[in-house]
Every structure is written in C-alpha cells, then in structure tokens.
Amino acid sequence: MMNAIRRSYIYIVLLISLQVISWALIAMVRNIIDLPLDRTGFAWQLALLIIGGPIFGGHWLWAQRLAAAQVEELASPQRRFYLFAMLASLLGPFLAQTVFLLDDLLRYLQLPESVWPAATLRSTLSAMVVLAVLWLFHWRLWQADGRQVGETAVLATIRRLYQWGFTLVGLVMILNGVTGLLTRLFELLFDEFKAARPLIDELPLLMVGVPLLAVFWRWNQRLFAQDRSAEQNSLLRKVYLYVVLFVAMVTAVTNAAILLASLLQAAWGIDTSGSLSEVLALILAAVATWAAHLWVLKQDERAAPDVQQQITIRQLYQYLSAGVGLLALLIGVGGLLSVVIRALAGESYDRVEISWFVATVAAGLPLWLWFWRTIQYAAVADDDSAAEHDSFVRRVYLYLFIFLATLTILSAGVYIVYRLVSLLMRLSVGGSAAVDLGHALAYGLLALVIWLYHGQLIRADSGRQSAARERHLAAVRLLLLDTADEALNQTLLAELRQTLPQVQVEFVSATAAGEAAAEEAVAGEAAAERSALLERIRTADVLVGVWTMAMNESVSEWWSAVMGSPAAKILLPVPREGWLWAGVDEWEPQQVAQDVVAQVEQLATKRQMKQKRRWSVGAIIGTVLAALVVLVITFVLAVTVIDFWF
C-alpha cells in the first residue's frame, strides 16, 4: 500500500512537471526565433525551466533508482500510466501542430501570391520538434520496460486505452475530412453556396488522420492476429467497435429523418431553409463507417468466439439501438395522433409538424424492427446458456419500457380523472376538454400497448427460463457424502430436496463409505453393494463432501473412485482444529447449504449464481434510502409528464 502511494506521488509529480517543462521550452524556442524577444515572457519561461527542471530531474532519478533496485517497479500500473499519459499528451498536440502546418502550406500553394507563412511555420515546427523528441524518449522507455517485465492484464489495459483512443482520434479526423469534402462536392454539384470553402481546405485532416488510423489499426490487428487470447478477449476492442457502430447508426438514421422531412416539405411546397449537402455527406460517411466496423466484428467472430463480457457489450449495442428506434417510433406516432386529434376537433395544425413526425416514424420503425428481430430470434432460440433471454441487459430494457409506460398510464389516468371531475364540478380549465382528453386517452392507450407487449415478453422469458432450469436440473445426479455431522447432513438434504426437487439426490452414509473403502475382500451381496456404490460415485454428476475427502490420499478404491470421478466436486469448509480458511464467512450450516444449492444450480444451468449473504446494517439503510430516492424521482417524473403533456 505504501509503495503504491509512493509511486502515485512520484509519477503524478513527473507528469505535471514534465508538461510544465515541455510547454515552457516550446514557448521559449518560439520566443527566441520570433524576434524581437518578449522579455517578460522569456523571464516566465526561464523561471519555469529553472524550477521545473530540478523537480522533474530529482523525481526522475528517484523513480529510476527504485526501478533499478526492484524490477517490479517497472511493471507498476503507476509507471505504465505515466508513460502512456505522456505519450498521449505529446502525440495529441503533435498531430494538431501537423494539421496547422499542412493547412498553412496548402493555403500558400493554393494562393501563390500570398506571403510565405514563415513565422507560423517556425512556431509550428519548433513545437513539433520538442514534442517528437519527448515522445520518442518515452516510447523507447516503454519498450525497454516491456522487454524486462512483460505485460500484465492491468498494463495491457492501459496500453489498449492509448491504442484505441488514438484509433478513434484518427477515425474522427478522417470522418470530419471526408464529411467536409463530400459537403463541398455536393454544394458544387447542386450549385449551392457559391462562396463555399475550397476542397483543398479539407485535406489536412485527411493527410494526418489516414496515416494515424492506419498505424494504430495495423498495431491493433497485428496483436489480435497473433492469437493472443488476451487481445482476442479484450473488452476495450469490443467497446470501441460497438460505440462506433452505435454512433454511426444514430448519425445515419437521424440525418435520414432530416432528409426525409425536408423532401416531404419540398413536395408539399413548403420552403425549406438550409442545405442538404451536409446531411447527405453525413449519411454517406456514417453508413460507410457502420459497414466497415460491422465487417470487422464479423471477422473477429470468425477468429475467436466472444466471451461473456464481450457478449454483454454486443447486447448493450443491440438493445440501445432497438430502444432508440422504439422511442423514435413512439414520438412519431404520438405526434401524428396529436395532429389527428387536433384536426378532428377543428383546430389548426402545421404540415411541417406532420413531415417531422412522418420522418421520425419512417426512421424509427425500420431501426427498431431490424434490431428487435435479431434480439428476439436469439432470445427464443434453444440456448442452454440462457445468455440472451435471461441477460441482465434484456431485463433492464424490458423493465425500463414498462416503467416508462406505467408512468405514462399513471399520468394519463390522473389527468383524465381530473378533467372529468372538473367538468362535473363545472370548474373552468383552460384548453379544449375534447382535445386534452383525446391526447390523454391516446397516449394512455399507446403506453398500454407498450406495457402489455413488454410484459408478455417478460412472462415468456420467465417461462423459457423455468423450463430450461427444470430440464437441466432433472438431468443432475448428486451424491452427498457423509459429513460426519448429522445436523449438517440433514440441513443439506432438506435444503437440496426443498429448493431443487428436480435433482436426483442420494446420501452415502459413513458406514457405506467405510465398507467401500475397506481393504479386506468381501463376497456375495456385500461385494455387489460395494461395487454398485463405487459405480454410482464414478457416474455421478455432482459430489458433495467435506474438504478433507480431497486430502485423503489413500490407495483405497473409495478414494480412487471419488478422485477419479468426472463429476463436479463441491467441498464443504467444515471447521477443523488447526485449519483456518481465508475468504470464507463465519461457519453456518444453513448458509453452507444455501451455497451448495447455488453451486449445483450454477453447474446445471451454466449460469453465474451469486451466493446469498446476510445484509449488514449499512446495506439495509442504503437500500431504504435508495428506495425513497426512487419513489421521489418517480413522483417528480409523473408530475412533470402531466404538466408537460396535458
């Protein structure tokens, strides 16, 4: 602990002081080459170097001395974080300066009569030289550390953050450049905005972004192709790919809705302000990005199957996309219902509204159907692992929409009753009663449809889960080996038979076990019983016994049968004098029995089961407070919905 605090202090000071030194040095170089000299600025820059230099130097020598004395210092997360934080903080400004440099050069080449930007180029190049030297120093230092100590999981995560972070930077630069370039081309094609910027203005981002993305993407793919399970199972890789997919998809769908609304307005003779060139450019760039990253994901799946954490990221992407589509669909349908109600009541409505609501429905419905069909197909498949229909992400999605639908039904119901009571009491309420009641009734019915549909899905999922659980548990044969504690034996048997009645549970008494372990020869009926018992041990699916059975390294048939059985073995941490357990709660037979049940169910259903633990006083208080907060938030949301809609 003390070493971690010391390392954190050293490398935080190094990070801050080197940033101060590097930018003070850059400012000083710029000040010197751009005469006349700014004396006040030079004094500040010199002061920063005089004070910052010794601070950095002293702490750097300290860090290097510790690393030379203890090799584990080289593998510390603090040191590796410092190295990649410096690499990132140096490479980022270097890329920005490169863009500025290329922009100045291209502008000069575009306009030969312009003045050579000597001062700007000197300023940019001086910064690039300092940043490049420092970056190369830290890069070589990271490589030297890696050759000595290798890379742990934590260090690999820090390195991946750097890799995928700049992969994303390169992608964003390319997309900005491509979008700008396509926008200019469409403007020229459609004869829009005669004063539009020249096409060459978009080139600096592309000239920097393309090499940047190529270098980092090749680095990522090389590590992935080396068949290193750590890289293939990397969570950050999947996070990057699915985040890009989601953002690209939302961008494409949103701009497609804008384009459709504009086309509808133009078809109805409504004057539309603004240009569609950028909208078209964004759609093309987003679709291309989405398709490219989807192809990469397909290639990844062929190379290595997803692990559970990666599956969760994929589910988040699918359910978020489906949720966005459904929300867009509901907003569009709700808006169209509002227009219909107002039209029936003789109130005015705007065609611009209709165009936007139709476009929202047209964008949201295909998006929701596309992802929801994929989700439902996976959920209803006969998947023994229940990774889809019993996933945490799916339950959150379904209950979130049920929650929103419940709030809407509550709000609509309260408002309908309020307006009816107001009419009976002849109270003066602003607005048309027919229109307001129509809105409340329509929104309430729409929410009811959502509530019923998602509720039916929850019930269907529960049915599939229960059926699969029954099927898997019924196939389990469990042998409970005598624990030499009659109370514990009865507790285990009662808990297993009560909680998991489908499991075939058989108890092997100490007498039977002793006979099976006996060295002397037996004959007749006793021999047959002994042989049958040993065979049941060898063919059981689960063996439950005290932990000492794994240490009784005798040569008896009994021990050989237990140890040689392919069955899963659940060991009970029975207290034994002179033996202490780490990571095990206080011994309680009932708690142990519940844990055994959870382990058996986990083995049978291949689902991760959390063991139950007694709640502490703090956990109880926290839960009560959280429940109160949820109630308050629910009340505020209901009041807000009523006030906003009705």
Residue 571: give its domain's CATH number: 3.40.50
Same domain, yes or no, for 405 and 490? no
**226 within some domain:** no
Q: Which residues are CB-contacts of 193 (< 8 A; sequence separation ≥ 6)?
A: 187, 275
- Residue at 553: amino acid letter: E
In a domain, 548, yes or no: yes
Which domain-ending residue is among 122, 150, 178?
150
594 and 628 assigned to the same domain: no
pLDDT along the chain (646 residues), means of 10: 82 92 89 80 89 91 87 86 94 93 80 67 88 94 86 87 94 92 82 58 88 93 78 85 93 92 83 78 94 90 75 88 93 87 76 87 93 87 62 90 91 85 76 77 90 92 82 85 81 86 81 51 58 79 78 60 80 76 69 84 70 57 71 65 53
Tokens of 248: 């690209």
Domain limit, last residue, from 150, 183, 207: 150
Ranges of beta strands (E only) in 464-565 are 477-481, 504-508, 542-546
Cβ neighbourhood burial of 121 (10 Å; 0-12, 13-18, 19+): middle
User: Do 463 and 515 have their domain in common?
Assistant: no
* 13 belongs to a structural domain: yes
Residue 549 DSSP symbol: G
Global pTM reads 0.79
Same domain, 397 and 487: no
Q: Is residue 127 in a domain?
A: yes
Half-sphere exposure of 391 (CA within 13 A, CB side): 23
Same domain, 568 and 497: yes
- pLDDT at residue 442, as a whole number: 86
Are 511 and 559 found together in one domain? Answer: yes
* Cis upstream peptide for 36 (omega within 30°): yes
Cα–Cα dist 629/258, whole Å: 38
DSSP string, 407-459: HHHHHHHHHHHHHHHHHHTT---SS-HHHHHHHHHHHHHHHHHHHHHHHHHHH
CB atoms within 10 A of CB 281: 22
**CA pair distance 634, 646, nearest whole angstrom:** 18
Within 13 Å and on the Cβ side, how many CA atoms surround 256? 20
84 in the Ramachandran plot: left (φ > 0), alpha (ψ -120 to 50) or beta?
alpha
Query: From CA 239, how far away is CA 246, in angstroms rounded?
Result: 10
Are 466 and 524 in the same domain? Answer: no
Q: Which residues contact 490 (CB under 8 A, 6 or more apart)?
A: none
What is the rounded CA–CA span in Å between residue 572 and residue 488? 10
Q: Assign 307 to helix, strand or coil.
A: coil
- Cα–Cα distance measured from residue 243 to residue 249, given in angstroms and rounded to the nearest whole number: 10
CB atoms within 10 A of CB 532: 11
Structural domain of 538: 477-605
If asked whether residues 1 and 146 sit together in one domain, one would say yes
| Distance, CA of 472 to CA of 600 (rounded, Å) | 11
Instruction: Kindly state whether residues 573 and 639 are assigned to the same domain.
Output: no
Answer yes or no: is 71 within a domain.
Answer: yes
Tell me how far the alpha carbon of residue 5 is from its chain's centroid: 30
Q: Domains in the chain: how many in total?
A: 3
Burial 607-640, CB ≥16 within 10 A → b, else e:
beeeeeeeeeeeeeeeeeeeeeeeeeeeeeebee
Torsion-angle region of 403 (φ positive above 0: left; ψ -120 to 50: alpha; else: beta): alpha
Q: Is the residue at 206 inside a domain?
A: no
Within-domain flag for 344: no
CB 458 within 8 A of CB 405: no
Residues 132 and 19 in one domain: yes
User: 274 is written with which tokens?
Assistant: 């603004």
The pLDDT, as a whole number, for residue 521 is: 45
Q: Tell me: do 495 and 464 sit in the same domain.
A: no
Query: Given strand 568-572, what is the order of strands in its sheet?
Result: 504-508, 477-481, 542-546, 568-572
Place of tokens 């159907």: 369
* Same domain, yes or no: 49 and 77: yes
CA distance 321 to 369: 10
pLDDT in the model for residue 555: 45
Q: Indicate whether 583 belongs to any domain.
A: yes
In this structure, are residues 283 and 211 in contact, taking their beta carbons and an 8 Å threshold? no
